[in-house]
A = this chain, B = another copy of it.
Amino acid sequence: MINYFSSDFTLGILGGGQLGKMLLYETRKFDIRTIVLDPNAEAPCRIACDEFTRGDLMDFDTVVNFGRKADVLTFEIEAVNVEALEKLESEGIEVYPSSKTLKKIQDKGVQKDFFTSHEVPTALYQKYSSKMAFLEGLQKGEISLPLVWKSTTGGYDGKGVAVVKNLQTAEDLPETACIAEDLIPFKNELAVIVARNPSGEVKTYPVVEMEFHPEANQVEYVICPARIDAAVAEKARKVAEKVSRAYEHIGLLAVEMFQTEEDGILVNEVAPRPHNSGHYSIEAAFTNQFEQHLRAILDLPLGDTESKAGGVMVNLVGEEGFSGNVVYENISEIMKLKGVTPHIYGKKITRPFRKMGHVTIVNADLSKARQIAEEVKNKIRVISE
């Protein structure tokens, strides 16, 4: 086995945001040497890695030159130069997840086609190469309102996704290649994270339930385990494992799903990395998702995915009407509540709906945790000075 611990082995991470920051807790815990590339000099990962490089994740030369300094390379954001990853792989650097996996996920149109060709249940969709093509499709009746519009690339923090109920909304959408999906009436949004290492070991986390903020299209609560029938949970887990097998990914694969009105499972989208829906695991699971990702990409044995207690996660997003130096109003109030742990990502500037942190609530009694989560949500406000 390669000696990763307190050695010269170097893990490279593309992206220096909050996911990278939480991954760095684990590389520190294992004393694994890390280098991080991010365009922002103030990125949350600027400290806690061994070497921080400022640079463009979409620039071929920047990524290749950075990657050559690593023994294993991973990423915390899908928007990276995939040709650079291919080049690095051809030079013998291990990239996990691989460029092959990323190419099947990075573009949401390709992702949907992959689901279809692998018989993964998903909502019906049409792909369009431009806004004009999309509007024409709507005109021609290829698709009908209401629908879900998704930009094929670059979506994050609720951007790049919209529910389109009328023509005006459609016409106001940005100019970009997109997919248009059937708007599925659903009971629940669910997610399952599957971990897989190069030796082929696979471990699946429990099904979690996501409650979305109706306007911002961002997750408001993640609840683990999901409060659903055992049979539905089992079905969701099986679908997630099927998707995992289809991708043959290395590392984590987060699979977001809809539980339909008829208790069917439709895959919404996937992400080949630690995921917002797994943040609860830092406090609640025997092995948190960041440690698990590390174990997976380094071909270490995967850890136990079960939970020590019930967990609820609340996203802290910038409040509407506030932009500027962030203030977490009432944070000491929520810290009085039982089993509450705030995570502050380290972004100095808040903006409406920007993901600034999250709070985990852990309790032996899940309904109690959910109740405390609501208190947290009602008390804390992410505002500016």
Residues of A within 8 A of B (CB): 1, 3, 5-6, 21, 24-25, 28-31, 44, 47-50, 286-287, 291, 295, 300-301, 303-304, 308-309, 326-328, 331-332, 335-336, 338-348, 362, 364
User: Secondary structure of the A side of the interface?
Assistant: loop
Residue in contact with A6 in the complex, picked from B24, B303, B308, B326, CB distance below 8 Å: B326
- A129 to B213 Cα, complex, angstroms: 68
- A50 to B346 Cα, complex, angstroms: 12
B332, A1: Cβ atoms closer than 8 Å? yes
Minimum CB distance partner of A363 in chain B = B286
Contacts of A343 in B (CB 8 A): 29
Say how far A93's CB is from chain B's closest CB, in angstroms. 22
New A-B pairs, 16, CB < 8 Å, besides A48-B48, A301-B335, A303-B341? A5-B328, A5-B344, A25-B25, A25-B28, A25-B29, A29-B341, A29-B342, A29-B343, A29-B344, A30-B342, A30-B344, A286-B338, A286-B339, A291-B341, A295-B335, A308-B364
- A300 to B295 Cα, complex, angstroms: 34
A345, B31: Cβ atoms closer than 8 Å? yes
- A343 to B26 Cα, complex, angstroms: 9
- A342 to B26 Cα, complex, angstroms: 10
B308, A362: Cβ atoms closer than 8 Å? yes
- A291 to B343 Cα, complex, angstroms: 12
